[in-house]
Amino acid sequence: MGLFGRKKKDEEVEPSKWAVSKAKKDAENAKFEAMVEASLSCSSKGDDFLEIGQVEEAIACYDEAIKICPSESVPWANKGKVLFELERFEEAIACYDEAIKQYIPYGYGSSTIDLYNAWCVKGNSFYRLGKSEEAIACYDEAIRLDHPKSRYCETDLYAVWDRKGNSLFKIGKIEEAIVCWDKVLLITPENHAVWKNKGAALTHLERHEEAIVCYDESIRLEPEISDAWFAKGISLLRELERYEEAIVCYDKVIQLEPKNSFAWNHKGKALLDLGRDEEAEQCFAKARELDES
């Protein structure tokens, strides 16, 4: 060490080491950024192929993009979306697993993958495979992210709540399913299918009067769809013994679907309970005829 704390010329080693280290790091960063750029460019080419319906070529581009930079999430997500549309759900899930693992918030390039959508489509893949527990876990992650306000958002939050409700219903968690459908109805009160599903859940819980209110709302919104009419008829016939009203429901189903043997059969049961045996037998005969045709 020289006078006044200065280093002698032959002692000036540390700054040059730092400079070398910084230069090396800068070079590595530049190389990584070039890899990401090349990967995103290849992925974008895949998007172009997809636009003109060349699906296999698109997948090949996504695969090449992944090969160039496996840690970039965009091509993983793009490939996963295509595989989902092709109903190759197991492969789609594997891609979304990687996309989610590699996701870096506001990272170089990765900001263009919407994590909300990734969880949604992964959940939908499990849903389509009948894996309700796994689907619910994914939907919970999407709900936790709370519907990002971005142009990349493809799945509305109400649809996530709806599918979570459907999944919960399938595994017997009826009360929780109703909570989900209530969330949907807060967002889209005109959703006739969800009113019908909520009615079915309430029927399952033997809350038949409440179920009929839901079926009536579904019918008000879509009077020409038979499902809610039939479900309302079941509650009226089997549980509340309101046979005349049940017959009105089954007549509407038969009007919409003349070959619905179940509606003919259930109308026959309602007529039988009213002591109208001859009319009931005509309905049973029609049901048998349709089942045998």
Residue 195 carries which side chain, given as an amino acid letter?
A: W
What would the pLDDT profile of 92-106 be if each residue is shown by its tens digit? 999 999 999 988 765
Query: In 3D, which of 120, 118, 121, 109 has the Cα closest to residue 44?
Result: 109
Tokens of 270: 């309602």
* Structural tokens at position 127: 């849903």
Q: Please name the residue that has the structure tokens 């109805």.
A: 185
Question: How many CA within 13 A on the CB side of residue 148?
Answer: 19
Specify the CATH number for 190-293; select among 2.60.40.420, 1.20.1050.40, 3.60.20.10, 1.25.40.10. 1.25.40.10
Which residue type occupies 7?
Answer: K
Predicted TM-score (pTM) of the model is 0.81
208-254 tens-digit pLDDT: 999 999 999 999 999 999 999 999 999 998 889 999 999 999 999 99
Distance CA 237, CA 270 (A): 6
Burial of 25 per CB tally in 10 Å (0-12, 13-18, 19+): exposed
Q: What is the pLDDT of residues 56-92, one digit of tens each?
A: 999 999 999 999 999 999 999 999 999 999 999 999 9
Banded pLDDT at 25 (limits 50, 70, 90): low
Asked whether the beta carbons of 127 and 105 are under 8 A apart, the reply is no
User: In sequence order, which residues have a C-beta less than 8 Å from that of residue 82 and are 6 or more positions away?
Assistant: 50, 55, 58, 59, 62
Of residues 228 and 1, which shows the higher confidence score?
228
- Reference 65, options 87, 90, 95; nearest CA is 95
Percent of the chain with pLDDT over 90: 75
Q: pLDDT digit string (tens) for 166-176?
A: 999 999 999 99
Whole-angstrom Cα distance, residue 56 to residue 46? 9
251 C-beta neighbours (distance < 10 Å), count: 14
CB atoms within 10 A of CB 12: 10
What angle, 0 to 180 degrees and rounded to 10, lies between the N-to-C axes of helices 73-85 and 14-51? 20
Between CA 288 and CA 66 the distance in angstroms is 58
18: pLDDT strictly greater than 70: no
Instruction: Give dist(CA 168, CA 160) in Å, integer.
Output: 12
